[in-house]
Amino acid sequence: MQTIAGKFVPVMITPFDLKANIDFDAVNRLIDFYLQAGVKGIFANCLSSEMFSISEAERLQLTKHIVNYVNGRAPIVATGSFGLTIEDKADFTKRIYDTGVDAVILITGHFAKVEDSDDVLLQNFEKMFSLTGNIPLGMYECPAPYKRIISPDVFKQLLQADRLIYHKDTSITHENVAAKLDILKQVPNRLEFYDAHTPNAMFSMQHGAIGMSSISGNFYPEVLVWMVENANNPDKQADVKWLQQELTAVDPMIHIAYPMSAKYFLQKRGLPVRTISRAYALHLTPEQKKEVDLLHDKFLGWCARLNIEPVSINSLA
């Protein structure tokens, strides 16, 4: 087992003001929160950002703002494969790359219909590569518009183009994750593999993933940072296994009413993030709030056992 510290990259949520416009001051506080928690990058303009519920202009404006505020303190990636045609997607990819991000992420479900074969997907990716010059690209098996899982064989073929430097995996199954990670060890590449499924954290890190990029980082990023930094530490294996069991047990809870649940949790932690969402129209029920309250208590218990210092919100002011 290698003692390699991994990276945690949060999928950034979008705070809104009382009129459901982007609250850029709250965005700044949230970025400071992530960075103080020890994250090693930021995924902007993603599903957690409610990217399908904001306009094209807002996607660009928000991403540019994040790039400017981070100001080189961490790498930034952002989704760019928007548009009806491959040409449209290539055009938006160029525009979002011009905001200053380090790589542009392509949603796998944007490159083939549900009924299309992998050959169609490969042809469309090849066309996208040819239309985007030398822009560093990544893949994301996003649940929307539908989840297109990349098979190990297709993964291997896409790697051979030498255009991909980032992959956010939502395979969930250990078999598929392990197969892709094995390919990375066999094929010369510069791709960083991030698992999006928190219950996979220990498994993926111990099988060669560079890190995690999961929605749980919008609740307790410090805990995920600890996990990826210690998953391969032989002196911490008892705590790693214990924490993985804890994170897996609560994982269904954090998906309920997300991203509202995350916004409520961050509000409990003292961040100026309102429970306003464009993607989720309903308010949290009293029962849902009670569940999140209990999760907050668990988070404090994890920190106490693992000697993790929760981010002090007062220090972000």
Of 123, 181, 116, 190, nearest to 159 by C-alpha is: 190
Helix (H, G, I), strand (E, B) or coil at 312: coil
Q: CB–CB of 108/141 below 8 Å?
A: yes
For the chain, give the mean pLDDT.
Answer: 95
Does the pLDDT value for residue 302 go beyond 90?
yes
What pLDDT score does 317 carry?
56
Mean per-residue pLDDT, 123-141: 97
Q: CB–CB of 217/233 below 8 Å?
A: no
Q: What is the pLDDT of residues 185-228, one digit of tens each?
A: 998 899 999 999 999 999 999 999 999 999 999 999 999 999 99
Alpha carbon distance 259, 256 (integer Å): 8
Alpha carbon distance 139, 151 (integer Å): 13
Mean per-residue pLDDT, 290-312: 96
Does the pLDDT value for residue 2 go beyond 50?
no
How much of the chain, in percent, has pLDDT values that exceed 70? 98
Q: What is the pLDDT of residues 239-252, one digit of tens each?
A: 999 999 999 999 99
pLDDT band for 4, please (50, 70, 90 cuts): low
Q: What is the pLDDT of residues 67-109, one digit of tens each?
A: 999 999 999 999 999 999 999 999 999 999 999 999 999 999 9
What pLDDT score does 188 carry?
85
How much of the chain, in percent, has pLDDT values that exceed 90? 93
Q: CB–CB of 92/107 below 8 Å?
A: no
Does the pLDDT value for residue 183 go beyond 50?
yes
What pLDDT score does 215 carry?
97
What pLDDT score does 3 carry?
45
Alpha carbon distance 127, 112 (integer Å): 12
Kind plus residue range of the DSSP H or E element containing 253: helix 237-255
What pLDDT score does 283 carry?
86
* pTM to 2 decimal places: 0.95
Alpha carbon distance 180, 139 (integer Å): 13
pLDDT band for 256, please (50, 70, 90 cuts): confident
Helix axes 56-70, 86-97, angle to 10 degrees: 30
Burial class (CB in 10 A: 0-12, 13-18, 19+), 309: exposed
pLDDT band for 291, please (50, 70, 90 cuts): very high
Burial 199-223 (b: 16+ CB within 10 A, else e): bbbbbbbebbbbbbbbbbbbbbbbb
